[in-house]
Amino acid sequence: MEGPYLGPPSQTSTIMRASLDQLPQELLFQILDQLDKHHHASLALTCKRLCIAAASYLFSTVHIYPLEHRLATGTELICSNPRLACLVQHAYLYTPEGWRDEYVQAKRGMTEDLLGFEDFERPLDLISKLPKLTRATLCFSKVCTKPYTIKHVPFNESYRSRRDNLEALFAALANSDSPCTITNLYIRNLQNINHSGLTRSETFPSVLQKLVSFRLSIVNRYADSRWGGQLLQPEAHTFMDEFPRIWLQPLATTKNLSRLFLYSDAYFGFCPKLELRGIHFPNIQTLALGGFTFSHDWQLDWLVSHKATLKNLYLDNCALIYQAIIYSTVDAEGYFKDIVRPDFAAAPRDSWRNYPRRWWWCFDRFRTELHLRNFCIGYGPWQQRGRDPVEEVENMEISLVPNRYVCFDEGIEPYQYTDKPVSVLKRDDGRPVSWEPPQCDREDKDALLRLLKAIGQSVPRGSDIVQKEYRLQDGFVIWDGT
C-alpha cells in the first residue's frame, strides 16, 4: 500500500540526492574549498569532471626543493607537464638550508654546506615554466648567523648565501622574458641586513612596485654573550633605520599594494626604532604587524592616516610599552640615539620613562577614527613547529594576553623586553620606582568589545578574551595552563 502523498520534493532534498558530479560548478568549488588535499586527491580519482575540478586545487601550490630533497623529482614532473603547470598559482622556493629543520640538521651532524648557490638556481628555473604563477614564497632558514657554532649547534646559511639567493630571486622576478608575473610575494626569515648590491639595483624597486601583497618576516642574528643581545646589535638598528627607505618607500610609490604583513622574531618599533612617519600606502586594505611595539602617539596617528582604505587590521604578539629604563643616550622622543655600551654606574637616576597609553585608549581610537571591517589582536603559533604565524594571522583568535604590556630594561641581557624590569632605580627623593604592570584588564576588554561591536564583528560565545595562563619569557608567550 502506497503512503500518503507528501507533495513535490523540496529543492534542498533534490540537491542532497544529487551526486557530486552533477552539482553546478559554483557549488562544487565551494565544497572543494572546505576540503583538504587528501580529499582532493580522492575526488580526482572518481570521475573526469571531478578530476578536473580537484586538480585545480591539488596543483595550485607547489613546493620547490633543492635537488637533494626526496620530493624534488615530483615537483619537476608537475612543472614539466604543460597541463599541470598551468594550474600552479603559488610556489614555495626553498633555499638549501631553508627546507631543513635546523635542530634535526644539527643532530645529524651536518656541519658543512651540502648544497650551494648553484642548487638554488633550480627552483628559479622551474618557476619560469609556470605561466599562471602569481604568488611566490622564498623560505630561508630560521637561524641566521656567521659561520660559527652557537652553543654547540652548527648552522650553515651564511650572509653570502642569503645575499646570493635573494639577488637571484629578484633577478628572476624582474626578467621580462618570464611568462609569469608575481604580484604576491612572501620572504620568510629575511636576515636583518640590507645588501647594497641588491637594494641599489634597478630590479629591486621594480619587483616591489608590482606587488599587490607583500609579506615579510625578519630574523635577527643570535648574540650569545656579547653586550646587549640581539636587540642592541648595530645591524638591528641599521636595518630598521634603512627599512622604510629601502623596502617600504618603493611599495608606497604606487597604488598596487593592498596587503602588507610585517613580522619580526624580536620586538621592533621602539628598540630598534621603526620610523614610519613619511610613509603612506595609498591603497592599503589589510595590515598585519607581528612583534611590533607601540610607545608613542605618532604610531597610532600613522595607522589612522590610512583610514580611507584600511579595512583589516591584525596585531599579532604586539605590545604596548608602559615603562622603560634606558642608560644610553636618547633623543628628544626617548629613542636610542647612540648604540654604545653605557656606563651603568654613572647613569642618571632619571633613566626611566613612563608611557601613559593603554590598549583601551588604542581600541577606542580604532573604533572612532578607522573604518575597519575586521580587527584581531592576539598571539599566533610563534613557537609551534611546522606552523607559520604570518600565514595564519587572518585566522588568529582574539585574545588579550599579558604580554600586550611590556617594559624595556637596558640593564638586563640578552633580551631587554620583559614583563617587569630587574633594574632597581630610585627617584631623586629616594623613593623606589614602581614597575607594576597596568591593571586594566576590564577597561581593555570593554574597549575591545566596543570596537568589535561597532564594526559588526562577533566574538565566539563563551570565549574568555582576557587570557591569564600565559607569561612572558624572552619576548615570547609561554603557556602555563594545564
pLDDT digits (tens, 9 = 90+) for 430-463: 555 666 788 899 999 999 999 999 999 987 665 6
Q: How many residues does the chain have?
A: 482
pLDDT beyond 80 at 304: yes
Helix, coil or strand: residue 302? helix
More confident residue, 410 or 10: 410
Identity of the residue numbered 380:
G
CA distance 78 to 87: 10
For residues 351 and 482, the model is more confident at: 351
The answer to whether residue 410 sits within a structural domain is no
What's the CA gap between 472 and 416, in Å, rounded? 12
- Residue 85 in domain: no
Per-residue pLDDT, 305: 98
CA distance 425 to 350: 9
What residue numbers bound the domain in which 35 lies? 23-58
pTM of the model: 0.84
Mean per-residue pLDDT, 62-81: 72
Is residue 226 a contact partner of residue 254, using CB atoms and an 8 Å limit?
no
At 294, the pLDDT band (50, 70, 90 cuts) reads: very high
Average pLDDT on 258-268 reads 96
Whether the pLDDT of residue 425 is over 70: the answer is: no
Q: Quick check: is 142 in a domain?
A: no
Over residues 104-161, the pLDDT tens digits come to: 433 443 333 333 344 677 778 888 889 999 999 999 988 876 544 445 445 557 778 8
389 neighbors 382 (Cβ within 8 angstroms)? yes
Computed from CA positions of residues 416, 420, 422, 428, in that sequence, does the dihedral angle turn out positive or negative?
A: positive
What is the rounded (10 degree) CA torsion for 30, 32, 35, 40? 180
Check pLDDT > 70 for residue 19. no
The arithmetic mean of pLDDT across residues 388-413, rounded, is 89
SS3 202: coil
State the total domains in the chain.
Answer: 1
- Please state whether the peptide bond connecting residue 414 to the residue before it is cis, i.e. omega within 30 degrees of 0: yes
359 — pLDDT class (breaks 50, 70, 90): very high
Among residues 240, 407, 189, which one has the least CA distance to residue 319?
407
The yes-or-no verdict on residue 373 having pLDDT over 90 is yes
Assigned C-alpha cell, 129: 615554466
For the chain, the distance separating the N- and C-terminal CA atoms, rounded to the nearest angstrom, is 62
Q: Which of 172, 161, 24 is nearest to 97 (CA)?
A: 161
Domain assignment present for residue 51? The answer is yes
Interatomic CA distance for residues 327 and 346, integer angstroms:
9
Give pLDDT, residue 104: 41
Pairwise CA distance, residues 202 & 186, whole Å: 20
CA nearest 61: which of 132, 166, 121, 142?
132
Comparison of pLDDT for 415 and 256, the residue scoring more: 256
Asked if the structure places residue 37 within a domain, the reply is: yes
Q: Can you read off the three cell numbers belonging to residue 227?
A: 653586550
Least confident of 33-37, 66-70, 73-77, 446-450: 66-70
DSSP state of 404: G
CA distances from 262 to 57, 268, 330, 346, 383 (A): 28, 10, 26, 38, 18
- pLDDT above 60 for 224: no
Question: How many CB atoms within 10 Å of residue 310?
Answer: 21
Q: What is the pLDDT of residue 482?
A: 33
Q: Is the pLDDT of residue 427 over 80?
A: no
Q: What is the mean pLDDT of residues 200-223?
A: 91
Residue 31, in any domain of the structure: yes
The C-alpha cell at 177 is 622574458
- Give the other-Cβ count within 10 Å of 257's Cβ: 24
Q: What is the mean pLDDT of residues 12-19?
A: 46
Residue 219 and residue 192 in contact, taking contact as beta carbons nearer than 8 Å: yes
C-alpha cell belonging to residue 111 = 656541519
How many angstroms separate the CA atoms of 222 and 146, rounded? 10
For residue 189, is it within any domain? no
pLDDT of residue 138: 93
Q: Residue 255: which pLDDT band, with cuts at 50, 70 and 90?
A: very high
pLDDT (0 to 100) of residue 468: 57
What is the mean pLDDT of the segment spanning 208-236? 79
Question: For residue 80, what pLDDT is reported?
Answer: 83
Output the nine-digit C-alpha cell for 238: 641599521
Q: How does DSSP classify residue 118?
A: H
**Mean pLDDT across 317-323:** 94
Going by C-alpha positions, the residue among 231, 225, 145 that lies closest to residue 415 is 231
Residue 456: other Cβ atoms inside 10 A: 9
**pLDDT score for 453:** 93
